[in-house]
């Protein structure tokens, strides 16, 4: 069984409030998306990295990808939602993989993914019957807010609560089937869970966060710079 990566990058990133989609915002001198693509392409167990762009993406070709190009395939088949982009990407790569092959779906916006994160996920799930996801055990006390002022309505016990991250690793056939049956999910695991299966939670760390708001760029830059200095 082979491993492939699929990176949905067809979103607009409206919460960033920037003119460019967030996957192209500058981070350490490169478009943000280059960092996770380069990380995935550097993992020997991953045969090929597929990136899903919006059909009307006009930005990708403005950048230089030659150093990654022998490990990277561009699919211009993004959809209206993240789940649709992933489902379209799975369909577009179908001729190049078998239903039993693993696909690691990774958000373009998780810029600080490390090869260690990916290798831990693959090593933990290699023999797993379902697959699983990187995730972070919840450390803070959780409150549910309510009303116009968002006043605390409830404290939620944090035991057994995890924040879902990516990559999310499932077999190509199972994931395509799950997303076709359950397109209204916000992550791949949600679709697999809806089939009645229980994906495994593989502990990761907070550096694998999703760049969502403008202030997140500075934090991502600090993490990548400090890794570069200690490499
Ligand atoms: O917007 P959000 O941060 O949740 O998006 C997560 C990932 O899904 C991003 O990499 C984004 O580019 C991608 N996406 C997509 N197609 C969409 C919406 C989001 O590929 N229609």
Helix (H, G, I), strand (E, B) or coil at 172: helix
Domains in the chain, ordered, with CATH?
Answer: 3-230 (3.90.550.10)
Q: What is the pLDDT of residue 14?
A: 65
Q: What is the pLDDT of residue 15?
A: 67
Rounded CA separation 223/203 (Å): 19
Mutational pocket test of ligand 1: of 11, 52, 75, 112, the residue with most ligand atoms within 8 Å of the beta carbon: 11
Which residue's C-alpha comes closest to atom 11 of ligand 1? 11
Q: How confident is the model at residue 20 (pLDDT cuts 50, 70, 90)?
A: confident
**What are the angstrom distances between the C-alpha of 112 and each of 15, 51, 119?**
19, 17, 14
Query: Looking at ligand 1, which atom is closest to the CA of residue 33?
Result: 10
Digit-coded pLDDT (tens) for 110-152: 999 999 999 999 999 999 999 999 999 999 999 999 999 999 9
Sign of the Cα pseudo-torsion (50, 53, 55, 59, in order): negative
């Amino acid at each position: 069984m082979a491993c492939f990566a699929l990176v949905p990058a067809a979103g607009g990133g409206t919460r960033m409030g920037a003119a460019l989609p967030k996957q192209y915002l500058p981070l350490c001198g490169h478009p943000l998306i280059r960092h996770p693509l380069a990380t995935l392409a550097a993992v020997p167990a991953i045969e090929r990295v597929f990136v899903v762009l919006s059909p009307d993406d006009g930005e990708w070709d403005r950048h230089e990808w030659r150093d990654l190009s022998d490990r990277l395939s561009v699919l211009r088949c993004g959809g209206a939602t993240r789940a649709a982009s992933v489902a379209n990407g799975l369909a577009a790569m179908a001729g190049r993989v078998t239903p039993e092959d693993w696909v690691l779906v990774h958000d373009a916006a998780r810029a600080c993914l490390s090869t260690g994160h990916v290798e831990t996920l693959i090593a933990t799930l290699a023999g797993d019957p379902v697959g699983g996801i990187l995730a972070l055990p919840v450390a803070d006390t959780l409150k549910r807010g309510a009303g116009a002022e968002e006043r605390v309505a409830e404290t939620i016990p944090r035991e057994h609560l995890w924040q879902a991250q990516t990559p999310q690793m499932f077999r190509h056939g199972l994931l395509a089937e799950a997303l076709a049956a359950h397109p209204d999910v916000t992550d791949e695991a949600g679709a697999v869970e809806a089939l009645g299966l229980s994906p495994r939670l593989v502990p990761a760390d907070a550096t694998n966060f999703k760049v969502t708001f403008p202030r997140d760029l500075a934090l991502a830059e600090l993490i990548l710079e400090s890794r570069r200095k200690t490499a």
